[in-house]
Chain A
């Protein structure tokens, strides 16, 4: 289904370098999220981790903020301090899962609900621009194009 690109999509599509920068940031977030979740799961504070690494709490904060260059060696050191193992795999970008409705707010932007797919979402605001949506979209959302 075609739709007007969201602001984020427009930025991603604006140039190859922007798309690559975005992928870089996504990977940094992937790593910092994994480390944050490991800290939370193990009940380890940033201070504890800093002590285990022989670094300051500020170092750990900067690391998790993505402010420090997260080298593979640094990540391995942190994983060692957390007594966990980092696993990496490559995959194609996630596709929208089957059965998930792509919704639009009244400004025509795509709304991506998370923790899909068993969570149908209906936005009341869609009715305002109902007439501008393709007939098939109206039917899928409202059961009728009228």
Chain B
């Protein structure tokens, strides 16, 4: 599990994680550890893949769900999972489009940065 790094060198998802109240942080923490220790979760109430509605670029990204808190990321070769963006999705079932686009952008910036370091 890794935090994505954007073009400015910031870790946006980490900022959200660190800002969470402990009662939310503990749930997200448990989800991250579960993925790290056992691989993809089967429970779609907790971990699901974004579908057609998310748009072409975002389709296939993965979303962690813990009540209103969401984190979006994606798998990378070598058993890695990059967490790009986190949000408090108050009283909505679907992720807001701007947040999906932000996650896509951050992941692209992260990939670009990694390619530049090879």
Chain A residues within 8 Å of B, Cβ to Cβ: 7-8, 11-12, 18, 21-22, 25-26, 28-29, 32-33, 35-37, 40, 61, 64-67, 94, 105-107, 109, 111-116, 119, 121-125, 127-128
Given contacts A21-B26, A25-B27, A121-B79, contact A64 B33 (CB under 8 A): no
Chain B residues within 8 Å of A, Cβ to Cβ: 1-3, 5, 11, 14, 17-18, 22-23, 25-27, 29-39, 41-46, 65, 67, 78-80, 114, 117-118
Report the tally of A-B residue pairs with Cβ distances under 8 A. Answer: 105
User: Which residues of A sit under 8 angstroms from B3, Cβ to Cβ?
Assistant: 7, 107, 109
Q: Contact: B2 with A109, CB < 8 Å? A: yes
* Interface of A (DSSP majority class): helix
Residue of B nearest to A105 (CB): B2
**A120 vs B27: C-alpha distance when bound (angstroms):** 29
Q: Contact: B43 with A64, CB < 8 Å? A: yes
Given contacts A32-B46, A61-B45, A125-B114, contact A8 B33 (CB under 8 A): yes
6 A/B residue pairs, CB under 8 Å, sorted by A: A8-B1, A8-B29, A29-B30, A64-B43, A66-B27, A124-B114
